[in-house]
C-alpha cells in the first residue's frame, strides 16, 4: 500500500515563527502536493511538485514556500507564521501516468497563536 507520512499531526506555533511541515511518500511518486483544508472552503492547493527540485505555485501560495530535494520528500515552509495560517494541511502524492488519484497523508493540524 502507498504510504504518505506527515511528520506532525498537531503543532502549535507562535506568530512570526518559522514552521516546517514534512511529508514523505514511499512509492516513488513523481508528483507531490500540499493542500490546505478549511471548513466551508474544502481543499485548496498551495504548491505542487512534478519532480525533484521542481515546484509550481497552486491557488494560494502567498506566505508559503516549499522544498523538494529528494523524490520522496516534500516540505512546506511557513517563513513567518500568522494566525490566518491556522489550518489543516494535507500532503498528497500520485505517480505520473495514472488517472490522477491522489494518495493522502493523515494531515497536520497547525495552530498559530
Does position 61 bind other proteins by CB under 8 A?
A: no
Q: Which residues neighbour 68 within 8 Å (Cβ) at sequence distance 6 or greater? A: 32, 49, 51, 52, 53, 54, 55, 74, 75
Does position 63 bind other proteins by CB under 8 A?
A: no
Considering only 79, 96, 111, 113, the residue that binds other proteins (CB under 8 A) is 96
As measured in angstroms, the least distance from the Cβ of 47 to other proteins is 11
Considering only 15, 18, 28, 41, the residue that binds other proteins (CB under 8 A) is 41
| Whether 24 contacts 49, CB under 8 Å | no
Indicate the residue among 31 and 75 with the shorter CB distance to other proteins.
Answer: 31
Q: How far apart are CA 64 and CA 62, in angstroms?
A: 6
Binding site for other proteins (CB under 8 A): 31, 33, 35, 40-45, 48, 50, 58-59, 90, 92, 94, 96, 99-102, 104-107
Amino acid at each position: 500500500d502507498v504510504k504518505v507520512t506527515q511528520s506532525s499531526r498537531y503543532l502549535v506555533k507562535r506568530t512570526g515563527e518559522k514552521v516546517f511541515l514534512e511529508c514523505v511518500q514511499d512509492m516513488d511518486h513523481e508528483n507531490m502536493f500540499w493542500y490546505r483544508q478549511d471548513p466551508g472552503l474544502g481543499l485548496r492547493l498551495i504548491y505542487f511538485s512534478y519532480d525533484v527540485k521542481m515546484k509550481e505555485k497552486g491557488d494560494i501560495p502567498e506566505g508559503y514556500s516549499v522544498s523538494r530535494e529528494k523524490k520522496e520528500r516534500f516540505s512546506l515552509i511557513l517563513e513567518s507564521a500568522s494566525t490566518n495560517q491556522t489550518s489543516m494541511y494535507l500532503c498528497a502524492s500520485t505517480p505520473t501516468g495514472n488517472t490522477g488519484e491522489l494518495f493522502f497523508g493523515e494531515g497536520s493540524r497547525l495552530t498559530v497563536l
